[in-house]
């Protein structure tokens, strides 16, 4: 298969990134329209919907830095997104489905949160997991896509990359 055909085939995975973005933005819009900032609705004893605005990065890192972090983290998300699309075009034809899936989950999450940063100046978070007095910081579907994608990237590098290397070596012999 020609290089352009392989790149095009790998870019077909972008539908998953679009799905993450649509689910993320629609859920944030729904929660923002139906809850007030700081409101918490218990769903289960360990799970709540809690509307929060995150002006920083993960776990509100740099949330009170004065506003420059909006553009800094937005720039990082944009650079990472371009890099992921480029990486997708360079994946081998075979043996990279898991990696492609991981990459587009990260891409969808990065773009979902980037949209919030650019249009709102903060990221809307609303999923809140807790137990007793322990509380995990609120997050959203984009954050979930990034986290699952990152875990999959680690798994891929530990278990699947070596197999792809062997396939490339065998093809070059």
- Respond yes or no: is residue 125 known to be catalytic: yes
Q: Which long-range contacts (CB under 8 A, 24 or more apart) does 61-64 make?
A: none
- Respond yes or no: is residue 42 known to be catalytic: no
Rg (Cα) of the chain, in Å, rounded? Answer: 19
- Segments of 17-154 assigned E as strands: 40-44, 47-54, 123-131, 134-135
Q: Which of 24, 116, 125, 156 is catalytic?
A: 125
Gap between the Cα atoms of 172 and 69, Å rounded: 46
Q: Which of 24, 64, 116, 143 is catalytic?
A: 143
The three-point CA angle 43-45-49 to 5° equals 35
- Residues forming the active site: 125, 143
């Amino acid at each position: 298969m020609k290089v352009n055909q392989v790149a095009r085939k790998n870019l077909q995975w972008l539908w998953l990134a679009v799905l993450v973005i649509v689910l993320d933005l629609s859920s944030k819009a729904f929660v923002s329209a139906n809850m007030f900032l700081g409101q918490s609705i218990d769903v289960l004893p360990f799970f709540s919907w809690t509307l929060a605005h995150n002006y920083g990065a993960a776990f509100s890192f740099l949330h009170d830095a004065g506003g420059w972090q909006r553009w800094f983290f937005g720039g990082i998300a944009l650079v990472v997104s371009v890099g992921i699309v480029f990486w997708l075009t360079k994946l081998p034809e075979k043996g990279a489905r898991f990696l492609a899936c991981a990459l587009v989950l990260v891409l969808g999450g990065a773009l979902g949160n980037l949209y919030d940063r650019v249009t709102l100046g903060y990221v809307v978070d609303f999923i809140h997991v807790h137990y007793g007095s322990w509380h995990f910081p609120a997050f959203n579907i984009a954050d979930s896509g990034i986290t699952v994608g990152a875990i999959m990237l680690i798994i891929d590098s530990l278990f699947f990359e070596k197999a792809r290397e062997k396939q490339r070596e065998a093809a070059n012999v």
